[in-house]
Amino acid sequence: MKIEGRNNVIEALNSDSVTVNTLMVEKGKNSNIIALARSKGCKVSFVDRSVLDKESVNGHHQGYIADIVEFEYCEIEDILARSEQPFIVILDGINDPHNFGSVIRVAECAGVDGIIVGRNRQVAVTDTVLRTSAGAAAHMPIARVTNINNAIETLKAHNVWVYALDMDGEEITTTNLTGAVAIVVGSEGDGVGKLTRKLCDGIVSLKLKGKVNSLNASVACGIALYEVVRQRG
């Protein structure tokens, strides 16, 4: 798997969960990234910009493209162990890699302990997801499970309150989100699945005042996560 761009490469090199095998650098570049890569035992090769342009997916490599080991998912127990009052995001059917990457980015900024995703109807961590996360994926534990509903049952057994972010629920600012909590975010088209909604401890909604009755999934997720941050102080 390849990642590109100065900041993404730096984040990967500084991460304990990502292994950078090789780094291609544009000839003439002389930065601390090169020294950092070598200190991590990463092989550095200097190439013409035309080579980087050919390898680049989005055209924004900034002179750096790294080859990394495939993303390593964690277990739910690893996420639960990170805090006495875990703060978790569950994604139910997010198929757009840009949305997934944006969720990872906002979750990392909000101090989320981990993200849980399903194997089916859910995009995996891909190159596009990594790029969109702007380096946040290197610091965010992500568990990939066979069944989201079983994962919810596991969280509830560990005294985590699980709330679906969906329409027709209690306004989120009136819900107590100060303890161990997980927020379930569904796809823009289908929302949170019916059975998943039933398993949750409650449904929370955002107050929408415009004529459009829905938000981009990652935007809605960001608003909800920062409501949790606000309540936790």
CATH number, domain with residue 60: 3.30.1330.30
Q: Which of 49, 68, 87 is the last residue of a domain?
A: 68
In a shared domain, residues 138 and 178: yes
β-strand partners of 25: 46, 64
In a shared domain, residues 12 and 92: no
The vertex-209 CA angle with 205 and 212, nearest 5°, equals 85
In a shared domain, residues 140 and 100: yes
Q: What are the distances in angstroms from CA 149 to CA 82, 184, 198?
A: 22, 11, 10
In a shared domain, residues 209 and 156: yes
In a shared domain, residues 90 and 171: yes
- Amino acid 182: pLDDT: 98
The answer to whether the beta carbons of residues 175 and 163 sit under 8 Å apart is yes
- Amino acid 56: pLDDT: 93
Q: What are the distances in angstroms from CA 44 to CA 63, 78, 111, 141?
A: 12, 33, 33, 28
In a shared domain, residues 127 and 203: yes
Going by C-alpha positions, the residue among 138, 149, 147 that lies closest to residue 120 is: 147
The domain tally of the chain equals 2
Q: Which of 68, 89, 115 is the last residue of a domain?
A: 68
Q: Which domain holds residue 128?
A: 76-232
- Amino acid 217: pLDDT: 92
In a shared domain, residues 133 and 221: yes
Are β-strands 161-171 and 64-68 bridged in parallel, bridged antiparallel, or unpaired?
Answer: unpaired
In a shared domain, residues 55 and 100: no
In a shared domain, residues 40 and 118: no
The answer to whether the beta carbons of residues 162 and 200 sit under 8 Å apart is yes
In a shared domain, residues 13 and 100: no
CA 33 to centroid of chain Cα atoms: 24
- Amino acid 88: pLDDT: 98
Give me the residues of the chain with pLDDT under 70, please: none
In a shared domain, residues 138 and 210: yes
CATH number, domain with residue 215: 3.40.1280.10
Q: Which of 18, 35, 68 is the last residue of a domain?
A: 68
In a shared domain, residues 187 and 220: yes
d(CA 14, CA 20): 10
